[in-house]
């Protein structure tokens, strides 16, 4: 009986082994390809992946697709409501060939590189992967790619690790395999020097494939930059939908649950020796941290105080620079304060903001905001507009606005952040500089005209002086007297021209001398009138004067005052062909008011704003330099007085100036008016 039992037992074992071998053969036969089909109407979405890329995607012992990518893709399809799709695992090279030939709609996982981006459309990032060295624990450790030179290195065919070593300057002997699991088994058996592949893949295989003696393998991070592990497809719309769905799965915790299932390698109830080491390190660290707790607390407190001080300084700097910081929320269409008093703290609507902008700038400002929101286009230069900064006032100020934006994960503008800097003073200075520039250009033109005019004005009396001087020797007594008279008149004219030029030079240099003295204005005015009578040679013009005081003691510069009255009078004589000219004065506001009235041609309205400009002449054919009235204004300004005129074209003019007196004025009223005609 025992013998029969032993035979039956052996038969049972043989049957079990046969069944196991049959299943293994079936799994191996299906190993190069396994398919999961989800039922649905219409054309199926074809999804492919690597059949031997644990734990991301592989064929399990039942011959079905399994792994992190499989579960994550099924969850994404369910979330997107896609029921008709096929998940197929194949050799990685075939997967890439199928994608290039258009047989595949989506690759579940592929590492991103710049070269691959030229061929594949990459979708959302699942995670980041690291490349690592795998070597036997009895060999020299590998810590850098340069150590692979001359070694036999195992890599997966068409993997990113293969591309990295291929494109490097080192020259190892590369062995490319389709199944990295089989390759690691051969590495453990001593066939290769090292392997180069994804760190998570190597750790998972070593942890789960203990029956093949992989315990002698060491996984060492290659210290390369982490690489993006993504979906890749042919349809941008599908990739965008997967991106949003992946974000949702991460938000609701589904992604973390799937990730933990496939990347938590520790068996239940087993605590790795690394855990104990970590616990010891943590205990030591806690002891050290406790010792430094007080120091860190003090440093944190000091850092906070420093940040508060910097924040206060920043606030003061913004206020000192008259700068405010604001933000605009696109969803609510409201402006809010960040720093400053540009807006109410509770914010204002877009319509309220635009109502504060000057109507001529409103459309331009709204257009700038719209382009930022819809196109993400930020102006290269600050935008200058006129805006009412005080809601209780009707005045506008020039403000300079700069912009930056905050976007969501899709690149859409959600918030505009900007600054407001009041630049009214700068604008006014700019305008003033432009006006001064225009004045300088005008002055340059006038000086050019002045030089041309002066060459004629000086040449005329000089020609007369030289010409009549040459005739004196040949003239008789009567003619000689007439010639001498003409010479004297032209001498006086030439001296007057030179005097005006010298006065102009003094005005330009700012060194015009002022000699204040007390004198009797009444007597001085009579003498001045007597001298001016000699210059009035029109028989049909009456030169009148008005001296209202028998005595008038003032304190000022008599020569400059005489220059003003003389220039007013000679100017009137020049432009009054008939009628009368009246010169006069009176005391008012502790100063002397002088005036000259005429019935001449008057000043045209279009020239009245330029009447006191230098080198300005009403008539280009009239004798003179055009400096007289501008010199009068310069003298009056130096005195701190006032000057002006009233004129009507064709009816005459009244030019006047008020000069302050340095001391009290002593007056004695005249008995009667001294206004009388003097026809010369």
**Model confidence over 503-548: pLDDT tens digits?**
766 766 666 778 899 999 999 999 999 888 877 777 788 999 999 9
**Mean pLDDT (the chain, rounded):** 82
| Residue 243 pLDDT greater than 50, yes or no | yes
**What's the pLDDT score for residue 509?**
67
Give the H or E element holding residue 339. strand 334-339
pLDDT value, residue 195: 93
Q: What are phi and psi of 661, to 5 degrees?
A: -100, 140
DSSP 8-class letter at 303: H
Name the residue with tokens 């009567």: 478
Which of these, 329, 379, 383, lies nearest to 361 by C-alpha position?
383
pLDDT category of residue 318 using cuts at 50, 70 and 90: low
- Top pLDDT among 222 and 658 is at 658
Q: Which of 268-277, 376-385, 608-617 has the lowest mean pLDDT?
A: 268-277
How wide is the angle at C-alpha 255 spanned by C-alphas 253 and 257, nearest 5°?
Answer: 70
Mean pLDDT computed over 211-219: 84
Q: How far apart are CA 162 and CA 170, in angstroms?
A: 13
In this structure, the chain runs to a length of 680
- Is the pLDDT at 464 greater than 80, yes or no? no
Residue 616 reports pLDDT greater than 70: no
Residues in contact with 315: Cβ distance below 8 Å, sequence separation at least 6, in sequence order: 339
Instruction: Taking residues 219-226, report their average pLDDT.
Output: 89
What are the distances in angstroms from CA 218 to CA 173, 263, 276, 584? 20, 18, 20, 116
Structure tokens at 677: 């005609």
pLDDT of residue 615: 60
Q: How many CA atoms lie within 13 A of 602 on its CB side?
A: 10
Q: Determine phi and psi for 303, rounding to 5 degrees.
A: -65, -40
Q: For 177, what's the count of Cα atoms within 13 Å in the CB-facing half-sphere? A: 20
Q: Which of 15-24, 102-111, 165-174 has the lowest mean pLDDT?
A: 15-24
Grouping H, G, I as helix, E, B as strand and the rest as coil, residue 355 is: helix
Dihedrals φ, ψ of 664, to 5°? -60, 145
Q: Between residues 390 and 635, which one has the greater pLDDT?
A: 635
Q: CA separation (Å) from 577 to 598, 611, 621, 656, 680? A: 10, 20, 15, 21, 14
* Predicted local confidence at residue 117, as pLDDT: 87
Mean pLDDT of 568-582: 90
SS3 334: strand
With 0-12 CB in 10 A as exposed, 13-18 as middle and 19+ as buried, what is 33? middle
Structure tokens at 423: 């630049």
* pLDDT exceeds cutoff 80 at 42: no
pLDDT band at 266 (very low <50, low <70, confident <90, very high): very low
Q: What is the mean predicted confidence (pLDDT) over 266-293? A: 70
Distance spanning both ends of the chain, measured CA to CA: 174
Looking at residue 659, its pLDDT comes to 94
Position 449 pLDDT exceeds 70: no
The residues, ordered by sequence, that sit 6+ positions from 512 with a Cβ below 8 Å of its Cβ are 503, 506, 634, 635, 638
Q: With contact defined as beta carbons under 8 Å apart, do 48 and 10 qualify?
A: no
Q: What percent of the chain has pLDDT over 70?
A: 84
H runs (alpha helix) in 472-537: 477-509, 521-533
How far apart CA 554 and CA 594 sit, in angstroms, is 13
Here the tokens at position 592 are: 């002397």
- What is the C-alpha separation between 127 and 175, in angstroms, rounded? 27
Average pLDDT over residues 112-121: 88
* Rounded (10°) CA dihedral 382, 386, 390, 395: 150
Residue 163 in this model has a pLDDT that exceeds 70: yes
More confident residue, 106 or 446: 106
Confidence of residue 420 (pLDDT cuts 50, 70, 90): confident
> Under DSSP, is residue 383 helix (H, G, I), strand (E, B) or coil?
strand
Across 260-287, average pLDDT: 70
Query: Token match 């080491």: residue?
Result: 277
- Does residue 17 register a pLDDT over 50? no
pLDDT for the residue numbered 20:
42
Query: Is a pLDDT exceeding 80 seen at residue 451?
Result: no
pLDDT number for residue 536:
74
Asked if 45 and 59 touch (Cβ cutoff 8 Å), the reply is no
| Weakest-pLDDT range from 308-322, 422-436, 632-646 | 308-322
Is residue 419's pLDDT more than 50?
yes
Q: Tell me whether strands 45-50 and 85-90 are parallel, antiparallel or unpaired.
A: parallel
> Token digits for 673?
């008016």
């Amino acid at each position: 009986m025992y013998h029969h039992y032993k035979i039956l037992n052996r038969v049972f074992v043989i049957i079990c082994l046969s069944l196991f071998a049959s299943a293994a053969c079936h799994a191996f036969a299906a190993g190069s390809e396994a398919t999961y089909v989800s039922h649905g109407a219409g054309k199926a979405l074809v999804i492919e992946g690597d059949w031997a890329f644990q734990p991301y995607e592989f064929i399990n012992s039942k011959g079905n697709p399994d792994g992190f990518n499989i579960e994550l893709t099924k969850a994404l399809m369910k979330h997107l409501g896609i029921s008709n799709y096929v998940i197929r695992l194949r050799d990685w090279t075939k997967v890439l060939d199928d994608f290039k030939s258009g047989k595949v709609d989506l690759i579940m996982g592929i590492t991103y590189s710049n070269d691959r981006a030229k061929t594949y459309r990459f979708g959302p990032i699942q995670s980041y992967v690291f490349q690592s060295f795998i070597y036997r624990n009895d060999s020299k450790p590998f810590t850098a790619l340069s150590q692979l030179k001359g070694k036999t290195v195992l890599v997966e065919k068409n993997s990113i690790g293969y591309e990295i070593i291929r494109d490097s300057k080192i020259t190892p002997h590369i062995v490319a395999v389709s199944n990295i699991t089989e390759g690691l088994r051969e590495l453990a058996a001593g066939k290769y020097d090292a392997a180069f592949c994804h760190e998570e893949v190597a750790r998972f295989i070593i942890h789960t494939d203990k029956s093949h003696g992989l315990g002698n393998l060491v996984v060492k991070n290659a210290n390369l930059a982490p690489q993006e592990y993504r979906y890749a497809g042919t349809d941008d719309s599908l990739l965008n939908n997967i991106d949003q769905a992946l974000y949702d799965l991460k938000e609701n915790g589904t992604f973390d649950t799937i990730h933990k299932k496939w990347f938590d390698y520790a068996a239940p109830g087993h605590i790795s020796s690394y855990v104990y080491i970590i616990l010891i390190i943590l205990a030591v660290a806690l002891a050290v941290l406790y010792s430094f707790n007080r120091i860190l607390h003090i440093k944190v407190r000091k850092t906070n105080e420093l940040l508060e001080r910097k924040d206060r300084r920043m606030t003061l700097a913004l206020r000192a620079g008259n700068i405010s910081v604001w933000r605009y929320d696109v969803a609510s269409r409201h402006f809010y304060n960040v720093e400053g008093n540009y807006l109410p703290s509770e914010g204002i609507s877009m319509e309220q903001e635009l109502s504060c902008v000057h109507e001529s700038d409103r459309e331009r400002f709204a257009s700038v905001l719209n382009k930022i929101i819809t196109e993400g286009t930020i102006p290269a230069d600050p935008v200058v507009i006129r805006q009412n900064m005080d809601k209780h006032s009707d005045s506008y100020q020039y403000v300079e606005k700069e912009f930056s934006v905050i976007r969501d994960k899709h690149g859409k503008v959600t918030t505009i952040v900007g600054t407001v800097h009041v630049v009214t003073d700068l604008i006014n200075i700019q305008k003033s500089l432009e006006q001064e520039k225009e004045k300088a250009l005008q002055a340059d033109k006038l000086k050019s005209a002045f030089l041309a005019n002066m060459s004629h004005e000086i040449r005329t009396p000089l020609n007369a002086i030289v010409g009549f001087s040459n005739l004196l020797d040949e003239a008789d007594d009567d003619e000689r007297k007439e010639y001498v008279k003409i010479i004297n008149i032209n001498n006086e004219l030439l001296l007057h021209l030179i005097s005006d030029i010298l006065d102009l030079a003094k005005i330009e240099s700012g060194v015009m001398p002022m000699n204040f003295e007390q004198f009797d204005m009444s007597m001085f005015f009579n003498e001045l009138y007597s001298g001016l009578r000699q210059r009035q040679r029109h028989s049909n013009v009456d030169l009148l004067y008005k001296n209202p005081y028998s005595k008038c003691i003032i304190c000022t510069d008599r020569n400059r005052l005489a220059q003003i009255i003389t220039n007013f009078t000679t100017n009137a004589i020049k432009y009054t062909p008939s009628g009368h000219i009246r010169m006069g004065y009176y005391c008012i506001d502790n100063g002397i008011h002088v005036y000259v009235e005429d019935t001449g041609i008057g000043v045209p309205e279009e020239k009245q704003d330029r009447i006191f400009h230098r080198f300005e002449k009403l008539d280009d054919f009239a004798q003179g330099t055009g400096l007289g009235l501008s010199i009068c204004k310069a003298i009056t300004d130096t005195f701190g007085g006032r000057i002006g005129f009233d004129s009507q074209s064709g009816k005459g003019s009244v030019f006047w100036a008020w000069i302050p007196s340095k001391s009290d004025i002593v007056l004695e009223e005249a008995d009667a008016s001294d206004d009388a005609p003097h026809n010369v």
